[in-house]
Each structure stands twice: as C-alpha cells, then as structure tokens.
C-alpha cells in the first residue's frame, strides 16, 4: 500500500475527455479503503500546467502539512476516523516521456523566436478535441513568419487558434466570451504590449512578493517584459492552452471523478475545500 505523509495513497489517472484511464486504479482505491478502514477520503487535484512530478510534490507538501496539524492535536473530534488520500492526475500539460500520463496536453517554451513558436504550435497537436484541430494548427504554424508584417496573417492566425476551442464553453468568468468576439487585430495589439505587474500596496518594486514577475523577476519578469507580435502569438498560445485545460478540468470532474466517487461505499457528494 502506497503512503503519502503516513496516509494511505492511491493515484487515479484521467484522459483528455475526463474518462478513467485504468479501471484497475479505481479497483485499487476501493480495496485500500476496505483494507485500511478509511472513513474519510481526501481527493486532491493539481491545476493547469502541472506535470506528474509537479503534482506529486504538491501532494506531498500539502499532506505533510496536514499530518503535522493532526499529529499536533490541533483538530478536535477526529477520534475513530481514518484518512486516506486520492491523488488525481490529469493531462494539464505535455509531460516528459518518463512522467507521461494518459493523453498529454500542451506546454509552452521560453524564447520567442519563429522556430520556438512553430515548435510550440506543433506541440499542441493532439491536445484539442475539435475536428480538424491539427490541420488548423499546421496552418497557424505556417503563418508565424508573416505575423510581424501582415495584418491578414495575424487575423487568420487568431481565427485559426480560436476555432480549435469549444465555443459553447465560453463564459464571462475569465473573459473567454470576449476572447472569441474581439477583433483579431485589436486582440494581437493588446497581447503585444509588455505586461507591467501592479506593486503591492505600501511596497516598492525592489523586492518581496511585489517583485515576483516584475522587470527583475528572472524568467517570469522576462516573459512579462516581452513585446511585439511574436510575444502576442506566444500569449495567444498560452491563452488557448489555458482555456482548453479549464474545459478539460471540468470534464475530469464531471465525467470521471464524480462517477468514480459514487462507486465508493457510503460516500456522499464530494465537498470542495
């Protein structure tokens, strides 16, 4: 039986469409619950752009903190309760080969060159469920060299990338509704500008949390300070990837996690904490 910070731990992996990758993992979960006498199952999921190693480190840190709190006796009313952990893994980025989980997704590199942009677009292939998405990505990749000089190329580039996303999932929570409706040239112009972080109240930009991602914030600061149409294209790719992963996370919860949780004896509707 695998453990994490002293808690029984079972991993369940999900595919791009939110379905369970391997039913044997769910069977293992049910066996562990029975064998360990688990009364409370803690399900935890990583976020967008985490790979397998990132997610495992996140879970280890989180439950080490939980273990410390429990061992210190800071929570009352837990007598007779045994906790177990369900670690959820879903394809939120392109994983390294040795860390691959089902149906890997997309990641974005660092340097904004034509070659890097073409590679980033190529890496998106296989990520999107819209019919013909790979063909449209190929067309978008062929436009990269024209983005600086051609308004028509920029417009086509934007429309090709927008067309591989499910329009019906757009909403106003993250401005994705406006993303679909914005004029392509205006969208690229806005994305081409450097992004200046807002300093925290009462602090300068020289240190602390306010400087994270700022002009002197290492790789993050470099990313935010970029400008021009190649930077705009990179940010558009990031946005499209994020939006796809947000939609995928919903599918994992609806199509995979919810039905799986219902198979656990005595469990009620999942509660988010």
Q: How high is the pLDDT of residue 111?
A: 54
Domain ranges of the chain: 3-102, 114-193+228-249, 196-226
Cα torsion 150, 155, 158, 164: sign: negative
List strand residue ranges (DSSP E) for 14-130, in order: 40-45, 83-89
Which pLDDT belongs to residue 246?
76
Q: What is the pLDDT along the chain (273 residues), one digit of tens a residue?
A: 799 999 999 998 887 777 788 889 888 999 999 999 999 999 998 877 777 888 899 999 999 999 999 999 888 888 889 999 999 898 776 444 333 343 344 344 445 789 989 988 988 888 787 889 999 999 999 999 999 999 999 999 999 999 988 776 667 777 777 888 899 999 999 999 876 554 544 444 443 333 333 333 444 444 455 668 998 999 898 888 877 777 777 767 776 666 666 666 655 445 554
The CA distances from residue 83 to 25, 30, 43, 48, in Å, are 18, 14, 11, 26
Q: Structure pTM? A: 0.57
For residue 88, report the phi and psi dihedrals to the nearest 5 degrees. Answer: -90, 135
Looking at residue 99, its pLDDT comes to 39
The CA-atom distances, in angstroms, between 50 and each of 11, 21, 214 are 15, 18, 22
Residue 264 vs residues 20, 34, 227: alpha-carbon distances, Å = 15, 10, 51
Query: How many angstroms from the chain centroid is the CA of residue 192?
Result: 23
Alpha helix segments (H runs only) across 49-150? 52-71, 114-123, 133-142
Calpha distance 251→161 (Å, rounded): 21
């Amino acid at each position: 039986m695998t453990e994490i910070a002293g808690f029984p731990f079972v991993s369940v992996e999900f595919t791009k469409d939110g379905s369970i990758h391997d039913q044997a993992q769910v069977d293992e979960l049910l066996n562990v619950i029975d064998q360990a006498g688990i009364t409370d199952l803690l399900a935890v999921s990583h976020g967008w752009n985490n790979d397998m190693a990132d997610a495992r480190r996140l879970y280890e840190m989180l439950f080490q903190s939980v273990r410390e709190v429990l061992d210190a006796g800071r929570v009352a009313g837990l007598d007779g309760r045994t906790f177990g952990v369900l670690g959820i893994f879903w394809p939120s980025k392109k994983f390294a080969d040795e860390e691959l989980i089902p149906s890997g997704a997309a990641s974005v590199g660092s340097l904004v060159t034509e070659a890097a942009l073409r590679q980033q677009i190529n890496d998106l292939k296989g990520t999107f469920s819209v019919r013909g998405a790979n063909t449209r990505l190929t067309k978008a990749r062929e436009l990269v060299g024209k983005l600086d000089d051609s308004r028509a190329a920029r417009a086509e580039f934007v429309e090709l990338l927008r067309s591989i996303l499910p329009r019906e999932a757009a909403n106003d929570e993250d401005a994705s509704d406006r993303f679909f409706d914005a004029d392509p040239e205006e969208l690229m112009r806005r994305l081409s500008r450097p992004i200046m972080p807002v300093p925290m109240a009462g602090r300068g930009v020289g240190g602390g949390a306010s400087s994270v991602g700022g002009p002197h914030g290492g790789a993050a600061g470099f990313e935010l300070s970029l400008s021009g149409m190649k930077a705009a294209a990179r940010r558009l790719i990031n946005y499209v990837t994020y939006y796809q992963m947000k939609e995928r996370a919903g599918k994992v919860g609806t199509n995979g996690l919810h039905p799986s949780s219902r198979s656990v004896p005595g469990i009620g509707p999942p509660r988010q904490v």
